[in-house]
């Protein structure tokens, strides 16, 4: 009984299903041996190896696929390993004790080994067969494509030839259905199939083309690049949350500068972020954005943490400045005007990019603290320096100085102040010209109604 059970657990694929065996799915693949591809098996994570071994032992096919194979061929360290298999999610789940099925429509399995998680997906087929599992919008955009298929079909629905390579660590062979190895060796990023159809199916592929070519130093193939400017508008139909995730990947890849330049070159910047739309046309704005991107790239490359809030605060700052000036020119006082400008910019972005509240509240703090750096007398600098966001707001101020928006002397003053001790700090203070905070008059409680508190003075 137990033996039977174990057999069922470990060999679920051996169960007779009555299905006819698939045609040989490898017949259209080039089989590339180690001698040619040169991938060093030692660069694989042990979790990835254990996952392919576990699946293969249970009688299934299992390959490392996608970005990891591409990165290994390019001598980049892969940041994660994805695995493709002919086992269903339930079968994968039964093989690995520490695994769980995730996603409802698009089901994958996460297999956990220590702190590493390996994503295992079942070979997927064409989205064209309209069913409960596959659906396409009138525009050609894929709404659902969770149909199982064979390996050849799985390769066909991937985006670029370089991303459709399957590496079997056991045989050390790479299966290549679309000439991806040759493209990588030639330094080319090429979309699989008809570029226009593939962008219509999923417009995010245009952003991926730009991001991956910038990140990997691959040149976009001519036919892959050609339709992008005229199809850029299709990005409008993509759900904002997906667009936001892609923008984060783009800007936090360590190649933000290059990516931004490429986005512009391919006409993809319109409507994505106003920074790339308008700001680049203003010399100070462009300088500020470039400095912010350079700063982010340097942090990513030296493995320092980068905060999306800080990055987006920089990217949108010149939008805020423009609105701030406009609202002040209409007669509003500076601080309320700044808060109105921040709300305006965040509202526009929330519509376009779904910048999450979690990020936008930090962005607002960073922006809102900027005028407080001008106040260098009395007790104010002491309380500002104790603010939990001081470091981020100060880094932001330094970028403003470097871009020429505010005098360098202001940033230097704060650097010195932060490093000085008690007495030196006191000696640095400037005459306090700011009006003292008005004390609130004690009022007798209004009958019934609650008191509304006003925005704290900045």
**Is 82 designated active site?**
yes
User: Which of Mg ion, ligand ATP, none is residue 154 near (CB under 5 to 8 Å by kind)?
Assistant: none
User: Which of Mg ion, ligand ATP, none is residue 159 near (CB under 5 to 8 Å by kind)?
Assistant: ligand ATP
C-alpha to C-alpha distance for 163 and 6, rounded to whole angstroms: 36
C-alpha to C-alpha distance for 136 and 143, rounded to whole angstroms: 5
Footprint of ligand ATP on residues 165-184 (CB under 6 A)? Answer: none
User: Which of ligand ATP, Mg ion, none is residue 400 near (CB under 5 to 8 Å by kind)?
Assistant: none
> In this structure, what DSSP letter does residue 365 have?
H
Name which position in 66, 180, 195, 285 contacts ligand ATP (CB under 6 A): 66
Helix H segments across 187-273? 195-201, 204-216, 222-225, 228-231, 240-251, 256-265
What are φ and ψ of residue 239, in 5° steps? -55, 140
Listed ranges 45-53, 64-72, 108-116, 226-234: which one lies at the site for Mg ion (CB under 5 A): 64-72
The answer to whether 67 contacts Mg ion (rule: CB under 5 A) is: yes
CA atoms within 13 A on the CB side of 271: 14
**Is 176 designated active site?**
no
Tokens of residue 434, six digits: 């700011």
Name which position in 39, 92, 204, 220 contacts ligand ATP (CB under 6 A): 204
| Residue number with the smallest Cβ distance to ligand ATP | 67
Count of other CB atoms within 10 angstroms of residue 452:
5
Footprint of Mg ion on residues 388-427 (CB under 5 A)? Answer: none
Shortest CA distance to 370 belongs to which of 349, 345, 392?
392
The answer to whether 149 contacts ligand ATP (rule: CB under 6 A) is: no
The answer to whether 158 contacts ligand ATP (rule: CB under 6 A) is: yes
The full DSSP string for 251-319 is HTSS-HHHHHHHHHHTT--TTT-HHHHTGGGSHHHHHHHHHHHHHHHHHHHTT----HHHHHHHHHHHH
C-alpha to C-alpha distance for 351 and 349, rounded to whole angstroms: 5
C-alpha to C-alpha distance for 207 and 247, rounded to whole angstroms: 8
**Is 23 designated active site?**
no
The answer to whether 78 contacts Mg ion (rule: CB under 5 A) is: no
Is-contact 191 222, C-beta < 8 A?
no
Footprint of ligand ATP on residues 208-267 (CB under 6 A)? Answer: 208, 249
User: Which of ligand ATP, Mg ion, none is residue 125 near (CB under 5 to 8 Å by kind)?
Assistant: none
C-alpha to C-alpha distance for 299 and 200, rounded to whole angstroms: 35
User: Which of ligand ATP, Mg ion, none is residue 163 near (CB under 5 to 8 Å by kind)?
Assistant: ligand ATP
> By C-beta, is 205 or 380 nearer to ligand ATP?
205
> By C-beta, is 158 or 339 nearer to ligand ATP?
158
The answer to whether 203 contacts ligand ATP (rule: CB under 6 A) is: no
Helix H segments across 83-177? 89-95, 151-156
Count of other CB atoms within 10 angstroms of residue 148:
15
User: Which of Mg ion, ligand ATP, none is residue 158 near (CB under 5 to 8 Å by kind)?
Assistant: ligand ATP
> By C-beta, is 25 or 411 nearer to ligand ATP?
25
C-alpha to C-alpha distance for 420 and 385, rounded to whole angstroms: 12
Catalytic residue among 80, 168, 277, 395: 80
| Positions that interact with Mg ion (CB under 5 A) | 67
| Positions that interact with ligand ATP (CB under 6 A) | 66-67, 82, 158-159, 163-164, 202, 204-205, 208, 249
Residues labelled catalytic? 80, 82, 159
């Amino acid at each position: 009984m137990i033996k039977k059970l174990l057999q069922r657990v470990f060999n679920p694929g051996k169960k007779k299903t009555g299905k006819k065996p698939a045609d040989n799915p490898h017949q259209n693949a080039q089989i590339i041996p180690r001698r040619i591809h040169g991938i060093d098996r030692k660069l694989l994570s042990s979790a990835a190896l254990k996952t392919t071994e576990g699946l293969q032992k249970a009688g299934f096919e299992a390959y490392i696929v996608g970005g990891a194979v591409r990165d290994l061929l390019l001598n980049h360290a892969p940041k994660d390993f994805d695995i493709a298999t002919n086992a269903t999610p339930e079968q994968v789940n039964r093989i690995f004790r520490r695994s769980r099925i995730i996603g409802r429509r698009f089901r994958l399995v996460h297999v956990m080994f220590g702190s590493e998680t390996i994503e295992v997906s079942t070979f997927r087929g064409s989205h064209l067969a309209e069913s409960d599992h596959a659906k396409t919008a009138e525009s050609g955009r894929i709404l659902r494509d969770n149909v199982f298929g064979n390996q050849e079909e799985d390769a066909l629905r991937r985006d670029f030839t370089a991303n459709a390579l399957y590496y079997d660590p056991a045989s050390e062979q790479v299966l290549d259905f679309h000439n991806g190895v040759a493209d990588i060796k030639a330094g080319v990023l090429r979309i699989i199939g008809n570029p226009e159809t593939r962008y219509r199916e999923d417009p995010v592929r245009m952003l991926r083309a730009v991001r991956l070519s910038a990140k990997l130093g691959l040149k976009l193939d001519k036919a892959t690049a050609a339709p992008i400017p005229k199809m850029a508008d299709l990005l409008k139909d993509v759900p904002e949350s997906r667009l936001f995730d892609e923008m984060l990947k783009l800007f936090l890849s360590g190649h933000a500068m290059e990516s931004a330049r490429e986005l512009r070159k391919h006409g993809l910047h319109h409507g994505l972020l106003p920074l790339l739309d308008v700001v680049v046309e203003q010399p100070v704005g462009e300088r500020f954005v470039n400095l912010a991107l350079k700063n982010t790239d340097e942090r990513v490359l030296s493995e320092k943490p980068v905060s999306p809030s800080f990055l987006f605060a920089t990217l949108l700052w010149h939008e805020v400045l423009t609105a701030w000036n406009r609202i002040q020119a209409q007669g509003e006082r500076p601080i309320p005007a700044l808060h109105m400008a921040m709300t305006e910019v965040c509202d526009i972005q929330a519509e376009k990019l779904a910048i999450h509240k979690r990020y936008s509240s930090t962005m607002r703090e960073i922006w809102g603290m900027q005028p407080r750096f001008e106040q260098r007398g009395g007790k104010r600098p002491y309380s500002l320096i104790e603010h939990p966001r001081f470091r981020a707001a100060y880094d932001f101020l330094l970028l403003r100085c470097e871009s020429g928006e505010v005098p360098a002397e202001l940033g230097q003053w704060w650097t010195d102040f932060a490093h000085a001790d008690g007495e030196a700090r006191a000696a640095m203070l400037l005459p306090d010209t700011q009006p003292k905070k008005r004390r609130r008059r004690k009022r007798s409680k209004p009958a019934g109604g609650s008191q509304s508190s006003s925005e704290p003075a900045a």
